[in-house]
Structure 1
Amino acid sequence: MTKYKLEYVWLDGYRPTANLRGKTMVREFDAFPTLEQLPLWGFDGSSTKQAEGSNSDCVLKPIRVVPDPERLNGAVVLCEVMMPDGVTPHASNTRATILDDDGAWFGFEQEYFFYKDGRPLGFPEHGFPAPQGPYYTGVGYKNVGNIAREIVEKHLDICLAAGLNHEGINAEVAKGQWEFQIFGKGSRAAADEMWLARYFLLRLTEKYSIDIEWHCKPLGDTDWNGSGMHCNFSTTHMREVGGKAYFEALMAAFAANKDAHIAVYGPDNHLRLTGKHETASIDTFSWGVADRGASIRVPHSFVRNDYKGYLEDRRPNSQADPYEIASQVLKTIASVSTEVKAAA
């Protein structure tokens, strides 16, 4: 028998943006534990904005377990938050009730800033560094500094060792800004991967006395990019059938549901979606082939392949809940009627 360190990880009740929380349980197992072997575990919800002090019990329900590469005999256990009965999802549990489809594939591009001493990593104490331009996919000390690449490479190794579908890294447009990409099949599975990857990054940067700034526009109304979490998506129908008529009906549905998407695409998005940098204005909806200034970017390959493949929604921001993003995308896709799909 081996004693395993099980880090139970969950999302708290803070709004508009939930925080990751974690605590460790030690249990003996003959081998690396399966999900079915992991018990429910209680916690004090009054300390996480998930209960009142007079009735503070909440319950953690394991839904995914992965190896913890940073701990000997360690595992990270992603959990849903439940009411004291262990069956009823807590109001803060955005995973439990979302629309899901195993045939829907999602790729999230998570942008973020490294922050040190209250400013982006590499920024001078006063003022700004040289204007953005050389930092995107940049190399060399003057562009990426002396520690950021070490962190993102280590994060990549940790995610891969944990079995996550981490698909790449790159330095982003602003100094101190980076990105990693996560892929998954099904809205729950894809979002689970993202939350686990976020957890590993936050825990890793503790060692470097560096914070992760998830805010979508931390530098405010300046000529510095904000951070998004572009959502690349496809369904079985989009990949295997497609067609221009269906695509046009789908874009009409996205336009009609613009406000519903913006509502779950992250707080303060009006600061980022100005039409000046990453995408179209928050008040409009547009699509365009290879157009980074559109709400939805259509790859050239999608058009060449008779409008089959994946699309990229550029509006979600870096703070958004990937469960809610993926669910809203699926709701909008589902609103395109079966008659339209058949005719297309």
Structure 2
Amino acid sequence: MSSLLSDLINLNLLDITEKVIAEYIWIGGSGIDMRSKARTLSGSVNDPSKLPKWSYDGSSTGQAPGQDSEVILYPQAIFKDPFRRGNNILVMCDAYTAAGEPIPTNKRHNAAKILSHPDVVAEEPWFGIEQEYTLLQKDVQWPFGWPIGGFPGPQGPYYCGTGADKAFGREIVDSHYKACVYAGINITGINGEVMPGQWEFQIGPSVGISASDELWVARYILERITEIAGVVLSIDPQPIKGDWNGAGAHTNYSTKSMRNEGGFEVIKKAIGKLEKRHKEHIAAYGEGNERRLTGQHETADMNTFLWGVANRGASIRVGRDTEKAGKGYFEDRRPSSNMDPYVVTSMIAETTILQKP
């Protein structure tokens, strides 16, 4: 990039204007692709309800027919923009018809209903989501750092690994980490994963719907950074066939009752409720998950419901600390890397809090 272009990208608007740029982000027709476009605002805005609604051509994103293509964006959450910086912002939106009905791919609307239910709010649900992903070489769709058409050595040295032959893409991962902290996302960590070219970041614990807003914006930021680096981001649950770990989005969860004395009994009851709705949860936990949940590679078979303390081959894992303290949280290991966090978090809350036995 020429130095002039670089200077222009890094221009500080604060010196000369009150105006700010808002990048409106939404989820496209596949349910996992992310779209965005920007507009100029006359000044800083900190409250999403004070931002203007906006429209886009839904026929170009697979979300509306050509003869009635207008879809309306409702701003829902604001983050600082790590790309434009200054007072510029990223805005997470959800999408509605002109009549005000949520469009079918708007999963946030229903999630917000469940997570704002008085019984759910009283329980203060905390979610911590572990997003695994794979970096792919742009022109060959083969994992980053792998020899083209060939395979690296077997799994073992790569998990949390260090070194040019073990860690592929650390600059991307570190850039993403800092960009998320800058944006105001509650990102709690990163690590190299078991398959080379695969990494993970963790969001949370965050309360209610904010965990999902943060995860979606963190995905968006990662997609933008990989775009700059000329690398492709994959959140496919099993990008490479064979003896390689898949990618999940393990979802850690607790309620106020689980965090208080006697919480372990509450956790066991909640797990019992999850077992009864296992099929429904699996159906909603991401596309292609059957390629990952085989019972191999630190997963339970998708047709089996298992829970255990410190067991990574279980559907639900309870940590040793939780067992010892008699209170805490549990981890749902079933969601796939491409799951919609709005669907998963609201469903866990609905099953464990609102479903009466």
Q: How far apart are 1:216 and its partner, in Å?
A: 0.1
- In structure 2, the residue matched to 1:276 is 296
Verify the 8 A CA contact 1:187 1:323 in the aligned structure 2: no
Q: What are the ranges of 5 or more consecutive residues in structure 1 without an aligned counterpart?
A: none
Pairing 1:321–2:340 present: yes
Residue of structure 2 aligned with 1:217, choices 224, 238, 245 = 238
Matched, 1:94 2:107: yes
What TM-score do the two structures reach when normalised by structure 2? 0.89
CA contact (8 A) 1:110 1:181 kept: yes
SS in 2 for 1:141: coil
Match of 2:154 in 1: 131
Equivalent positions of 1:276-315 (< 5 A) are 276-306=296-326, 308-315=327-334
Report the secondary structure of 2:67's partner residue: coil
Alpha carbons of structure 1 residues 248 and 67: separation in structure 2 relative to 1, 3 Å: closer
Q: CA deviation at 1:184?
A: 4.4
CA contact (8 A) 2:308 2:316 kept: yes
* Residue identity (%): 42
Structure 2 gap ranges (5+)? 1-16
Asked if structure 2 preserves the Cα contact closer than 8 Å seen for 1:111 and 1:178, the reply is yes
Q: Alpha carbon RMSD of aligned pairs, Å?
A: 1.5
Question: What secondary structure, in the 3-state scheme, does the structure 2 residue paired with 1:297 have?
Answer: strand
Residue 84 of structure 2: SS of its match in structure 1?
Answer: coil
How many residue pairs get aligned? The number is: 330
1: CA distance, partners of 2:238 / 2:60: 28
Q: Show the counterpart of 1:44.
A: 57
Runs of 4 or more above 6 Å deviation: none
Deviations 1:127-158 (A, max 9, x none): 2100010000000101013xx11111111111
Per-residue CA deviations over 1:162-186 (Å, capped at 9, x if unaligned) read: 1100000000000000000001433
Measured in 1, the distance between the counterparts of 2:266 and 2:40 equals 52
- For 2:182, the equivalent position in structure 1 comes to 161
User: What TM-score do the two structures reach when normalised by structure 1?
Assistant: 0.92
Task: Tell me what 2:28 maps to.
Answer: 12
Alignment partner of 1:121 is 2:144: yes
- After TM superposition, give the deviation of residue 334 of structure 1 in Å: 2.1
SS in 2 for 1:201: helix
1:335 and 1:232 map into 2 onto residues whose CA distance is 18
CA 6–335 in structure 1, closer or farther in 2 if over 3 Å, else same: closer
| Alpha-carbon spacing, 1:111–1:51, altered in 2? closer, same or farther (3 Å) | same
**SS of structure 1 residue aligned to 2:166:** helix
Q: Which moved more, 1:291-300 or 1:90-99?
A: 90-99
Q: Which amino acid aligns with 1:18?
A: I
Structure 2 Cα separation of the partners of residues 203 and 5 of structure 1: 17
Shift, 1:333, TM fit:
0.3
What amino acid sits opposite 1:329 in the alignment? Answer: I
For 1:285 and 1:197, locate their aligned partners in 2 and report how far apart those are by CA, in whole Å: 30
**Which whole-Å CA distance do the structure 2 matches of 1:44 and 1:294 have between them?**
43
The aligned residue for residue 13 of structure 2 is none
